[in-house]
Amino acid sequence: MTTTANQPANASGVQELSGGALKRQLARALRRQKIRALLLIAPLLAFIVLGFILPIGSMLMRSVENQIVEEILPQTVVALEDWDESGDELPSEEVFTALVADLQVAIENRTALNLARRMNFEIAGFTTMIRRALREVPRWDLETDGPFRDRMIDVHRDWGEIQTWRALKAYSSPYTIGYYLSALDRTMVSGQIEHLPEDQSLHLMLFWRTAWMSALICALTLILGYPVAFLLASVKERYANLLLIMVLLPFWTSLLVRTSSWKVLLQEQGVINDVLVGIGLVADDSRLTMINNKFGVIVAMTHILLPFMILPLYSVMKTIPPSYVRAAKSLGANDWTAFWRVYFPQSIPGIGAGAILVFIMAVGYYITPELVGGPSGMFISNRIAHQWYVSGNWGLVGALGTILLVAVLVLYWVYDRVVGIDNVKLG
């Protein structure tokens, strides 16, 4: 009786045990599956972190970092805290003494020119001030050769200018908005945020030029690319393949070669001018100037970016059933009404995809404006490259890049609100 009574209980225990084991096995299987999935995406994740997130983070940090003045002139920065920059009096003798002491240490550590380079971005001629100090300051004795105010002014008269000391105090904090102000044609060298002089204001104009020229290039690629994509989607497949190869053919040629070819075509002694002169439309002594200006940039970039508009359009148009247009015509619509009321609305996702792709690429283009644009066709990307390679002003590069990134993200957000990013398709 006892054995029989215990059998159902033992069976229930075995079932509970097997059920718990199954749950644990299922959990382990799901965990292994997640680990395998994570390992599969790990290379892509690492690429995104190393190639996108870390560079953007570095750019953001460079755009606000400003430790150079504080690190090289620590005693001067402390002494300047009690100086009223809004007045007309130069800093006290203690500040000049601290400056001499800091410069002697900086000269010994060979960091004085780093200070000169940083402040020269804000005050023209600061490098000359430091270089002259390099010749005199090491010979001075802090205990016996003071006072130093007049001696520093003798080294360079700008040490006696209020503007110099206001700038040093304004840029003495470890973090600054100065680079962003410079990117927006502003400055705070006087202690107050002010507009730069007209002859030094450049960045806002370049931002505006980049935006409107990119929008114009986007519109031109749409006007030229829509009929081509429509033709690709409408003709027989064997002809469509041949035409598609012709669209893709420019990708087999270097961007530098394509840009250089436009330079050859558009110059005053180039092929286009020679043809115009040959047929009598243009006089030989009045050849058209089509290079090193905005026109050359627009023509070259429209040609280069045209495939990036055609391909999204074609991929979407290929999915539009031709029966829709035939049905509209059978109901009495003419060709234009059938196209505009039936076909065109279905191609809008391709227009959105191509427009976003072309505009964002155009905003960041560098090689083409550099080669065929000249001063009047320069984009903001060319200014960023100049500051990076020539001036070495990495803080301004970070600020300009951040502003450009934020502007593109804002435009992307506006586009999403107006059109809807979910409606953008690549086919």
- 34's CB contacts (< 8 A; 6+ apart) are none
Alpha-carbon gap, residue 140 to 252, rounded angstroms:
66
Q: C-alpha dihedral over 401, 405, 407, 411, to 10 degrees? A: 160
Out of 125-134, 215-224, 386-395, which region has the weakest mean confidence (pLDDT)?
A: 386-395
DSSP classification of residue 49: I
113-167: per-residue pLDDT in tens? 999 999 999 888 999 999 999 999 999 998 888 789 999 999 999 999 999 999 9
Q: Where in the chain are the domains?
A: 1-62, 67-174, 203-423
252-275: per-residue pLDDT in tens? 888 889 998 999 899 988 889 999
Alpha-carbon gap, residue 363 to 380, rounded angstroms:
8
Can you give the pTM of this predicted structure? 0.84
Helix axes 294-317, 203-234, angle to 10 degrees: 40
What confidence score (pLDDT) does residue 137 get? 92
Task: With beta carbons less than 8 A apart as the criterion, state whether 297 and 220 touch.
Answer: no
- For the chain, what percent of residues have pLDDT higher than 70? 93
> Among residues 98, 105, 66, which one has the least CA distance to residue 81?
98
Burial 358-379 (b: 16+ CB within 10 A, else e): bbebbbbbebbbbbbbeeebbb
What confidence score (pLDDT) does residue 1 get? 45
- DSSP H/E element including 186: strand 186-187
Out of 13-27, 119-133, 213-227, which region has the weakest mean confidence (pLDDT)?
A: 13-27
Alpha-carbon gap, residue 63 to 400, rounded angstroms:
8
| CA distance readout (Å), 259 to 52, 71, 243, 275, 362 | 28, 46, 23, 20, 14
Across residues 364-374, what is the average pLDDT? 90
Task: With beta carbons less than 8 A apart as the criterion, state whether 388 and 305 touch.
Answer: no
What CATH number does domain 203-423 carry, 2.60.200.20, 3.40.50.300, 1.10.3720.10, 1.10.340.30? Answer: 1.10.3720.10
